[in-house]
Amino acid sequence: MIEPKIETLLEDVDSKYTLVILSAKRSRQINAYFTQLGEGTAEYTPPQVPLRADRAPKSLSIALQEISEGTVTYERTADGIK
């Protein structure tokens, strides 16, 4: 089951398309952050929500939780979503 619920997430964005693009972009950033940890570089932003120690959430779940809590925002431009 997806947590937070899709209906709740859609209240924070203007369309399903925006939700998909925003969550996919943020998920890729989170994956890149965890990949770069061993390299010693700080190019990507770490997760903005507390992670539970009892289980390792997937990057998409983290991204959806960030969108739900309002820590990730977006700006619609002529070229797409930023």
Report the CATH number at residue 72: 3.90.940.10
Work out the number of other CB atoms within 10 angstroms of the CB of residue 62.
23
Is 38 within the bounds of a domain? yes
Fill in the amino acid letter for 24: A
What's this model's pTM, rounded to 2 decimal places?
Answer: 0.78
Is 1 within the bounds of a domain? no
Range of the domain at 71: 6-81
Quote the pLDDT of residue 24.
94
Fill in the amino acid letter for 67: I
Query: How many angstroms separate the CA atoms of 63 and 69, rounded?
Result: 10
Quote the pLDDT of residue 33.
86
Is 76 within the bounds of a domain? yes
Task: Read off the pLDDT of each residue in 25-42 and give the average, rounded to a whole number.
Answer: 82
Higher pLDDT, 42 or 72: 72
Of 44, 19, 21, nearest to 34 by C-alpha is 44
Quote the pLDDT of residue 12.
84
Q: How confident is the model at residue 54 (pLDDT cuts 50, 70, 90)?
A: low
